[in-house]
Chains A and B, each alone.
Chain A
Amino acid sequence: QVQLQESGPGLVRPSETLSLTCTVSDASISSYYWSWIRQPPGKGLEWIGYIYFTGTTNYNPSLNSRVTISLDTSKNQFSLRLTSVTAADTAVYYCARLSSGSRPNFDYWGQGTLVTVSS
């Protein structure tokens, strides 16, 4: 059973950088597309971006200038960096696997981690 687990600080100061890591178990990260998705409290889902095992990335244009997704194949992990955060970036952040190429089929998800942006 494929498992994904997010990790990182739950509190980030405004204007600083949010950094999260997703550890993948029972699946090689050297396949598939791997994605980050977030959900502000009480609101809907927002796709942040994805990375393919080749290193190819694609980001939501609304976040494009602030977001970076990277891979660490040696640790079977991928990571999210979001710079210059504001209160609007407060959300539950999920990592997920895309099962069918780049089609929107997110078949495995992490449990999610709440990141609060506050001073």
Chain B
Amino acid sequence: QSALTQPASVSGSPGQSITISCTGTSSDVGGYNYVSWYQQHPGKAPKLMIYDVTNRPSGVSDRFSGSKSGNTASLTISGLQAEDEADYYCTSYTSSSTPYVFGTGTKVTVL
């Protein structure tokens, strides 16, 4: 099972919006509405930001939103803030031999 494809890096200025893509196949992203997104600051554990494509856990800022079209899921961060600078990973349920596949990860830089 290959990792989901994410851009290596995305950057934006404070206040701007950025979007991170997560591309898979019809066996994972495209086949299920079970995509989640994680934020990871250096030296810290990942934090769940979005689950089931569009849902935010309690306590997560509404500046974070998720969507999906075909085999590509996206995470949008609106009103970019310095604290959003981190690595972001997507993951999806998959019908392959392993139930989960993670994305390659995207480093978000706030300029």
Q: Is A111 interfacial (CB 8 A cutoff)?
A: yes
Known contacts A44-B103, A45-B46, A105-B48; 15 additional CB pairs below 8 A are A44-B89, A45-B38, A45-B102, A45-B105, A47-B100, A94-B46, A103-B34, A103-B36, A104-B92, A106-B36, A106-B46, A107-B51, A107-B57, A109-B46, A111-B45
> Which listed residue (B45, B93, B104) contacts A104, Cβ 8 A?
B93
Q: Are A112 and B45 touching (Cβ within 8 A)? A: yes
Q: Are B97 and A61 touching (Cβ within 8 A)? A: yes
B1 CB → nearest A CB, Å: 8
Q: Is B3 interfacial (CB 8 A cutoff)?
A: yes
Q: Is B52 interfacial (CB 8 A cutoff)?
A: yes
Q: Are B98 and A106 touching (Cβ within 8 A)? A: no
Mask: chain A, 42-79; 1 = CB below 8 Å from B; 0 = not: 00111100000000001011100000000000000000
- A–B complex contacts, Cβ < 8 Å, 17 sampled: A45-B102, A46-B102, A47-B99, A61-B97, A99-B48, A99-B51, A100-B52, A103-B51, A103-B52, A104-B35, A104-B36, A106-B36, A106-B48, A109-B45, A109-B47, A111-B45, A112-B45
List, in ascending order, chain A residues with CB within 8 A of B52's CB.
100, 103, 105
Q: Is B21 interfacial (CB 8 A cutoff)?
A: no
Q: Are A47 and B51 touching (Cβ within 8 A)? A: no
Q: Is A102 interfacial (CB 8 A cutoff)?
A: yes
A residues engaging B (CB < 8 A)? 44-47, 58, 60-62, 94, 99-100, 102-107, 109-112
Q: Are A107 and B98 touching (Cβ within 8 A)? A: no
Give chain B interface residues in 48-104, CB to chain A under 8 Å. Answer: 48, 51-52, 57, 89, 91-93, 97-104
* Contact A106 to B38, CB < 8 A, known contacts A44-B3, A47-B102: yes
Question: In this complex, what residue of B is CB-closest to A4?
Answer: B45
Question: In this complex, what residue of B is CB-closest to A60?
Answer: B98
Q: Are B51 and A100 touching (Cβ within 8 A)? A: yes
Instruction: Give A82 to B19 CA distance when docked, in angstroms.
Output: 37
Instruction: Give A106 to B100 CA distance when docked, in angstroms.
Output: 11
B35 CB → nearest A CB, Å: 8
